[in-house]
Structure 1
């Protein structure tokens, strides 16, 4: 688990470093009017067909193709034991972020013609991917990434309540604060869009509620620092789990509709990108090959 997290952090650090270096070295070129770019000394290397520009496009395109392995991992039975699905998703998201960024640098921030369709499809895929990741996290899952059954979710919730009940001597005002954090979510009349808005507000409000609970616990002399940390962690897990259980059906439905929107943009992006690559090769743009 730690190795996976470190690898993800390292990959995003590499992406950030690449963006920084590209802007540092080629910023004057990217922000220059199109008519003046051919006169820039770095034009031959930084234009879309140059060493740097073409290289960014190739690497970005490869990442955007490789990320489809995640879909294959979910679809094909023989691949289902190839590692933790959560790990696959994290790498999929990194490639879905880094690939388009590199392609944008390849385009030198100018798009026109049929490439514009692929470009904006790529942007739509990347942005919807961020939303999809958030919705995916709203569905309680095991450590392996598999969706928990109703019984499994109830067992986890019972375990968290049991952990909280271990702390004896909690005063009524502490329990009142905890009850406020865990909260009651009435979504019986909510539309799917309203449900999405409500749980987004709940996520944004949770850190502030946890700060309030921490203050209440620190002002309670009967609660030690160690107990404060344990209570904070347990209450946070319980609040998130309970909210996800309440919104489960809405999350599943929204995720279904999200796939309907996300996939067509991805297919359009890839088809036009492949056509673009083939035409480039036919006209002799082969980078260093």
Structure 2
């Protein structure tokens, strides 16, 4: 499920902006490189990584794969650079509306890829040995990465504008009305028929707890998929049998999912924002702990001169 952007093009718009298409290509390449490189190194060095510690020093790959080796240390530098890069996203959020910096949503997508890749890249650097400060930093890094996945799940369920900032209820209501009108025009169904077909959630009780909020969100996600397919079936039964109308079924399905997603987001807005606030309060201290551990590790390594760059 993706967050609804208030200034997005209509569902039937045939063209995606060039900048959006370019970002998607670069984003895929970025993810492929960050995950592909460590996977290739792990596959090549698997005999070394699985060897007993006493035998590693005599392994032919030890010279390049150990943490101070050419490949091992290169991955350490990459992990450290990415870890510093992760802190640019919180700074970008604080700037607010700044189109020249790119949308916050784009920064979030890159932030997530980098955050998930750092533990894997760091593991290659450490040759899958985590002791002392390194172990503390790595454990904190894993917690941050896993909690980041949860954070994104919540983040995309808060309606936002193209800048990535949370939208007001008035903006959300206008978008929902526009999407419902477009859906009615495409299907030829009445407002009552659409309302019945698009209901996926009951009223939300006040002060929903954390577990109950997640349970409700996941259940509504599953219901939304079934409701969208049911809408297309009802539309076809109502007489939409021409080839052109059948070809439009995919567009209608996409629009219906967006409309139901928005309705779900409105209904769960307070609960989602409240749980997201709890998540942020827990995520930040662990991220700071990981940063302190990483900085201590880097400072010790550089002070001892265990590097190949000086």
Deviation at 1:15, TM superposition (A): 2.0
Counterpart pick for 1:134 among 128, 153, 157: 153
Name the residue aligned to 2:211: 193
Distance 1:264 1:80, change over 3 A: farther
Q: Secondary structure at the match of 1:182?
A: coil
- Give distance in 2, aligned partners of 1:19 and 1:216: 49
Find the counterpart in structure 2 of residue 117 from structure 1. 136
What is the CA–CA distance in structure 2 between the aligned matches of 1:262 and 1:242, rounded to whole Å? Answer: 28
The answer as to whether partners of 1:121 and 1:269 remain within 8 angstroms in 2 is yes
Superposed CA deviations along residues 116-174 of structure 1, whole A, max 9, x for unmatched, are 111110000011111111111010011221211110000011001111221465489x9
The answer to whether 1:24 aligns with 2:18 is no
Q: Distance in 2 between matches of 1:115 and 1:85?
A: 31
Residue correspondence of structure 1 range 207-246 to structure 2 within 5 A? 207-218=225-236, 221-223=239-241, 224-246=245-267
Hey, what's the Cα distance between the residues in 2 that align with 1:80 and 1:272?
A: 34
User: Cα RMSD (Å) of the superposition?
Assistant: 2.4
CA pair 84-51 structure 1, distance change in 2 beyond 3 A:
same
Q: Which residue pairs with 2:270 in the alignment?
A: 249
1:55 paired with 2:74, answer yes
Asked if the contact 2:200–2:227 (Cα under 8 Å) also holds between the matched residues in 1, the reply is: no
- Tell me the TM-score normalized by structure 2: 0.85
Work out whether residues 55 and 287 of structure 1, in 8 Å CA contact, stay in contact via their aligned partners in 2.
no
Q: How many Å separate the matches in 1 of 2:87 and 2:190?
A: 53
Q: Where does structure 2 lack aligned partners over 5 or more consecutive residues?
A: 1-19
Please point out which of 238, 259, 265 is paired with 2:280: 259
SS of corresponding position for 1:139: coil
Partners of 1:34 and 1:181 lie apart in 2 by 59
Question: CA offset at residue 231 of structure 1?
Answer: 2.2
CA-to-aligned-CA distance 1:232-276 (integer Å, 9 cap, x gap): 122111110000011111111111111111111111111111111
Q: CA separation in 2, counterparts of 1:149 and 1:78?
A: 15
Corresponding residue of 1:3: 22
Of residues 94-103 and 254-263 in structure 1, the stretch that sits farther from structure 2 once superposed is 94-103
**Cα distance between partner residues in 2 of 1:84 and 1:158:** 25
User: 90, 113, 116: which one pairs with 1:94?
Assistant: 113
**TM-score, normalization: structure 1?**
0.90
